[in-house]
Structure 1
Amino acid sequence: MNTIRLTVLTTAVVAASVAAGPAHAEPGVLMGGGSGIILDDYELCTLTTIGHDGAGRLVGLTAGHCAVLGDTIASEQDWGAGDLGRVVDVNDDLDYAVIEFDPAKVTPVRQVGGTVITGIGAYPEQGGVVCENGRSTGFDCGIVWGHLGDRILNQTCSRPGDSGGPVTAGDQLVGMNNGRVVGVAGLDMNVECVTATNPVHSPAYTHPITDILTAINTGGGPGTAFHPI
């Protein structure tokens, strides 16, 4: 009797194991252009984009003034997941930083909120419309005012924490949000954006993503030959 019971129990356990199938690993933290990031457990900024470079590394971009070389990166939405990567390059002239992510911990995505990034495009000319997605103000769109030196101004909402946010035209990444204009030639223009729905505020200033990627390619380090996911 005991032998029969043991045989039945063993058969049931094997059947249950076959029915359950192999265990699947949990997906990594979802990260994409517009995700809030925490640098060095302190600084809150926004991820511009994520993808792979020519060497197959999983890399992303954010604003350079947010970062110091070697800073750890965590997700604002999933801080408990711990360090997801590190800052491996910072450029002060074009105000960008390159992040190398751990592919075992991060799942790259094309869409965050209203932003979808499928490729790299040229910045629209004056009078065109671009959209921006920042961790502080979310997704909004505004008219392109034109160039101010090597920067381009637009009327999207930019508040602290939005730095690094993707600037898009349709589903093409065209720029990186670097801040808002507070004055030009001694003229005070510091009108803070309260909400993305209020168009009366100082314009945001941005760098074209093509200029940033050209600089990264010239350096030849992590991020070279980058393409979004």
Structure 2
Amino acid sequence: MDYAVIVFDKNKVKPVATIGATTITMIGAPPMPGTILCKQGVTSGRTCGTMVSTSGPYFITTVGVLRGDSGAPVVEGTTLIGNQWITGGGTSITAIIADLGRIGGPGAGFHLTAWGLPEHPRPNSFSIQ
């Protein structure tokens, strides 16, 4: 699988759920073919396309990317389904989280917190435990 875990100093980096035009509120598996997906790339910004297929932990889409977009979050609405690492190719976030749990270390136990949902006053944030 193609992913990396970066450990930030929580006293210096504030997690956010919105980057550009993309907000993440849930984590989910890749959807059925034909579903509209979008990614938020550093170079190309937000681009959208459709889910084509899956194979093991990987998925294929028509979402366009440019050089520098590798690692961009891929979402269905506000559900994070994976990361984009090549034009049309990505890795399922549920497979990445399962792999992190299996090997342990940084990133193991990753989940989204509930802050920012209607019953909570704070913005959504990511949490690594």
Give me the TM-score of the superposition, normalised by structure 1.
Answer: 0.47
Hey, what's the Cα distance between the residues in 2 that align with 1:129 and 1:100? Answer: 31
RMSD of aligned Cα (Å): 1.2
Hey, what's the Cα distance between the residues in 1 that align with 2:49 and 2:100? Answer: 28
Q: Equivalent residue of 2:4, what SS?
A: strand
Find the counterpart in structure 1 of residue 72 from structure 2. Answer: 165
Unaligned runs of 5+ in 2: 113-124
In the TM superposition, structure 1's runs of 4+ consecutive aligned residues that sit over 3 Å from their partners are: none
Q: Equivalent residue of 2:7, what SS?
A: strand
- Letter of the structure 1 residue corresponding to residue 98 of structure 2: T
Q: Does the 8 A contact of 1:119 with 1:227 survive in 2?
A: no
Q: Does the 8 A contact of 1:133 with 1:167 survive in 2?
A: yes
Deviations 1:134-177 (A, max 9, x none): 00100011111113564211111111110000000111110110
Flag the structure with more relative contact order, 1 or 2, with Cα contacts below 8 A and sequence separation at least 6: 2
Hey, what's the Cα distance between the residues in 2 that align with 1:110 and 1:157? Answer: 22
Aligned partner of 1:226 among 110, 114, 121: 110
Find the counterpart in structure 2 of residue 100 from structure 1. Answer: 7
Hey, what's the Cα distance between the residues in 2 that align with 1:226 and 1:99? Answer: 12
Find the counterpart in structure 2 of residue 130 from structure 1. Answer: 37
Q: Equivalent residue of 1:106, what SS?
A: coil
Q: Does the 8 A contact of 1:178 with 1:206 survive in 2?
A: yes
Question: What percent of counterpart residues are identical?
Answer: 39
Aligned partner of 1:214 among 62, 81, 98: 98
Hey, what's the Cα distance between the residues in 1 that align with 2:56 and 2:99? Answer: 17
- Letter of the structure 1 residue corresponding to residue 99 of structure 2: A
Find the counterpart in structure 1 of residue 27 from structure 2. Answer: 120
Deviations 1:1-31 (A, max 9, x none): xxxxxxxxxxxxxxxxxxxxxxxxxxxxxxx
Give me the TM-score of the superposition, normalised by structure 2.
Answer: 0.82
Greater fraction helix: 1
Unaligned runs of 5+ in 1: 1-93, 181-203
Residue 217 of structure 1: CA displacement?
0.4
Spell out the pairing of 1:84-99 with structure 2 (5 A cutoff): 94-99=1-6
Aligned partner of 1:153 among 60, 63, 73: 60
Aligned partner of 1:139 among 38, 41, 46: 46
Q: Does the 8 A contact of 2:47 with 2:65 survive in 1?
A: no
Q: Equivalent residue of 1:107, what SS?
A: coil
